[in-house]
Chain A
């Protein structure tokens, strides 16, 4: 039976982890490579890096981090943030990333998703959709970390990226992100019901129960979380044991 995945996400800015794990055993709390290794040793099913570096000039930094991490972590590694060109993807994959997550560039031009999945295979193309509720049962796609409204319906867009070869959808609720009040389960349910590719739930996790909701109520194939793991509130193992105790199948 296919297991539900737990994916810790590390926000990386100019080569340093922002909101990192606060473990005493850490030699360097800002080192993304060391943190990724802790997660991977702790049973993370995948690792996700989100590069939130504002400028374009620093792209080499994330590539370098990926290169170092990939030599130490032997679970899938997804990298997102600022992926805009085939060259960006090539650089990340050659450095050892297994998947890239495309956000704004996919909204701007869905053909980019098609081109990328044709060139590299759907298995490594994740499309990150940031959605905000606009009315009852209606969500809109936003870009630039939730600042820019696009007028595009989230469900339509999810279907469109699937048609264009995306292998997975990383779905973040902009309403819930950072609130610790749980995933937007209705949004998740709507998107998982209208697409046939795996959906990764993101945005809003504050408790282990929220992970359960994302999988069981929302229908997500994987759950992504940042802060509950970073601050040491829970370890990956805690999350897995909790889910297992509630009959959600995970890799223990």
Chain B
């Protein structure tokens, strides 16, 4: 199996590479690239994302043909794609970080700043928080409800169709922390930084 981690200069993806390498050991061929041909021929795609919504979208758009290729892969051909953090947020129609920015539009919804209740909650939401599983998800196989995952973000994805939500986490309100629709997966938390339990999420994705 070929799995591609999309490297579109979206900031620091070393940890994503390290954790996938650890889990993939000897089982999966891992490629880190933005090469369109390689992406097209892979079996699964990981779309990381760090920095702002706008900077990630701008980076994706700066690579000719990348957005269309990803759409063809995940939406038209329905092959497995996992978005992490801003990688998940970009599925939305629109994001408001830095400036109003058009997203990939794969899942209707918006990405807006977490309501910190006038400073009652510190932002970014940094650290370990419990996930509340909302529906059965293939990437949560053998993962217990209320497991701890590592988060770092100030913005949240609010999808229109709540049935895509596979888990939420509580910080100021119930924040969407993972989604699943067909073969499209996304986590707001960082499985690559969530210790053994995070590696299990990665393992589940690689085993799909």
Contact = CB atoms under 8 A, between A and B. Distances in A.
B194 A2 contact: no
Contact of B11 (A96, A97, A120): A120
A97 B12 CA distance: 9
A93 to B, nearest CB: 4
B133 to A, nearest CB: 16
A235 B127 CA distance: 20
A96 B15 contact: yes
A66 to B, nearest CB: 9
Interface string A156-191: 000000000001100000000000000000000000
| CB-CB nearest 6 A-B residue pairs | A121-B51, A93-B12, A123-B152, A251-B128, A96-B14, A3-B128
Contacts of A70: 14-15, 18
A117 B125 CA distance: 16
Interface in B134-157: 148, 150-154
Contacts of A30: none
B26 interface: no
Contacts of B18: 70-71, 74, 96
Interface string B1-27: 000000000011011001101100000
A222 B150 contact: no
Contact of A74 (B130, B171, B193): B193
Contacts of B12: 93-94, 97-98, 120, 124
A74 B22 contact: yes
Interface in B181-208: 192-196, 198-199
A100 to B, nearest CB: 10
Interface of B: 11-12, 14-15, 18-19, 21-22, 50-52, 55, 116, 119, 122-130, 148, 150-154, 170-171, 192-196, 198-199
Contacts of B127: 2-5, 45, 198, 221-222
A27 B54 CA distance: 47
Interface string A98-109: 100000000000
A76 interface: yes
Nearest to A67: B14
A98 B126 contact: no
Contacts of A45: 127-128
Interface residues of A, number: 31
B62 to A, nearest CB: 15
B126 A168 contact: yes
Contact of B123 (A3, A76, A196): A196
A122 interface: yes
Interface of A: 1-5, 40, 45, 70-71, 74-76, 93-98, 120-124, 167-168, 196-198, 221-222, 251
Contacts of B199: 74
Contacts of A40: 195
Contacts of B125: 2
Given A1-B129, A76-B150, A196-B119, 8 more contacts: A2-B125, A2-B128, A3-B148, A5-B128, A45-B128, A74-B19, A96-B15, A121-B11
B123 A197 contact: yes
A50 B58 CA distance: 34
B153 A75 contact: no
Given A2-B171, A74-B195, A98 B15 contact: yes
Most buried by B among A93, A98, A124: A98
A122 B129 contact: no
A198 B128 contact: no
A1 B171 CA distance: 6
A3 to B, nearest CB: 4
A122 B124 contact: yes
B122 A123 contact: no
Contacts of B151: 2
Contacts of B14: 70, 93-97
A201 to B, nearest CB: 14
Contacts of A121: 11, 50-52, 55
A1 B119 CA distance: 17
B96 to A, nearest CB: 16
